[in-house]
Structure 1
């Protein structure tokens, strides 16, 4: 029920009450006139007083109604404002909560994007390295046409001239390679195929530092080898190794022989 309906009901109640009082007042007046007759002068004066009193009562009642109405309207207004403020406050709190959640989600999303960006940068770096490596491998593979032979991850060069062991190694190192290091049976068989059965070739093996302690040119110690029968024979000044059809043999390092260079494709 709104304020206008309340005011109308209050006015109706007040009018009904006034009608009842007026009827009672007429009845009391009639009873009084019947009981005590008055002269026409006295009756007119009393009627004026009664109407004045009635008008004053009506005015007072109307003022009371207006005052009550004003109080009711004010209370309704205050209650409505308070309800609106409470509702608006709740809406603001809800908006703040939603904004906080959105902010947290944005922070999480930003962190995820940052991690993804760093991962992409890392992957890009790895792809760049792989691309450069493939280019290097391609360039090295192209060298196979220029006298280098490819096998697995290495390139091999078979010389056509003869030098001593030191000069053979210098030639190899000047070409970003070194004398061959034979690591397994498969590589030994490959060397036999590309070098021929009757040729001697320097390999990157020597015991020039300590007699009997054979080392490869990369500094690693020989653990097992493919020595020919009776080799190494332990003769003095035979500190460098050659490869030929039966296997390896120790020879003087100043012996003139062909050689085999090796370098990794990945370099």
Structure 2
């Protein structure tokens, strides 16, 4: 009986020891697994921290790039605006320069015209004693003391670079009357081309609302086709009659 009990105890001890060994082995395995997992967790956690740091760095760089982009965009727009303004100023200066060039050329042309007028006046003044001179507005007038036909008078004015008097205003009529001193003189008006159609020597038709014909004139008595100023009125006279005449020279012609 005692021998059987001892055999059972030994078998039980073996089972117990085996169970304990299995538990210990399992604990070792679990501890090993836990250690491995902890190490991996630590590595992953470290990598996560690195990734978060990298992410934060990228976010910061992105924000810096966005700020730089906004600044560069603002600078670009400012430069575009400045370029546009400079282009406008350049165009304005070009236009101003062109205007100044035109004004300079016009002034040069005016000087040349004045020089030519002075030369013509000097030529005309060589006939001292035969002419009486006066000015009005932008024209110079010469009144001859000689006597010629209307056509001869016209040719004489043309040779001098002028034309027979053309009266364009009340003021011009009044200054001529004042200088004429009640004498008679040919003016640049005739109806030689077509009877009754009075034209100035520049080809313009007489404005009937602006004329100083004497009462009953023009009457074409004796083929009177050329106009004469006498005092403050106009008459028609025979173009072949010999009379003084008035030349007119526009300064800026």
Shorter chain as denominator, the TM-score bin is 0.5 to 0.7
Q: Which of residues 63, 71, 76 in structure 1 aligns to 2:52?
A: 76
Structure 1: unaligned runs, 5 residues or longer? 1-55
- Residue 65 of structure 2 is matched in structure 1 by 89
Counterparts of 1:188 and 1:85, CA distance in 2: 90
Counterparts of 1:91 and 1:97, CA distance in 2: 10
Listed one character per residue, the Cα deviations across residues 78-109 of structure 1 (whole Å, up to 9, x for unaligned) are: 22332233123313421342243124313421
The two structures have a TM-score, normalised by structure 1, of 0.65
DSSP 3-state at the match of 1:258 = coil
Counterparts of 1:123 and 1:68, CA distance in 2: 80
Conservation of the 8 A alpha-carbon contact between 2:153 and 2:245: yes
Q: Which of residues 214, 218, 221 in structure 2 aligns to 1:228?
A: 214
**CA deviation after TM superposition for structure 1 residue 243, in Å:** 1.7
DSSP 3-state at the match of 2:177 = helix
Q: Which of residues 124, 149, 152 in structure 1 aligns to 2:137?
A: 152
- Residue 241 of structure 2 is matched in structure 1 by 255
The two structures have a TM-score, normalised by structure 2, of 0.68
Counterparts of 2:251 and 2:52, CA distance in 1: 92
Conservation of the 8 A alpha-carbon contact between 1:207 and 1:239: yes
- Structure 1 144/152 Cα, relative in aligned 2: closer, same or farther at 3 Å? farther
Conservation of the 8 A alpha-carbon contact between 1:136 and 1:265: no
The 5 A counterparts of 1:1-267 are 63=39, 67=43, 70-125=46-101, 127-128=103-104, 131-132=107-108, 135=111, 139=115, 147=125, 148-198=133-183, 200-222=184-206, 223=208, 224-245=210-231, 247-267=233-253
Greater Cα offset, 68-77 or 171-180: 68-77
Conservation of the 8 A alpha-carbon contact between 2:177 and 2:232: no
Conservation of the 8 A alpha-carbon contact between 1:207 and 1:240: yes
Counterparts of 2:41 and 2:194, CA distance in 1: 127
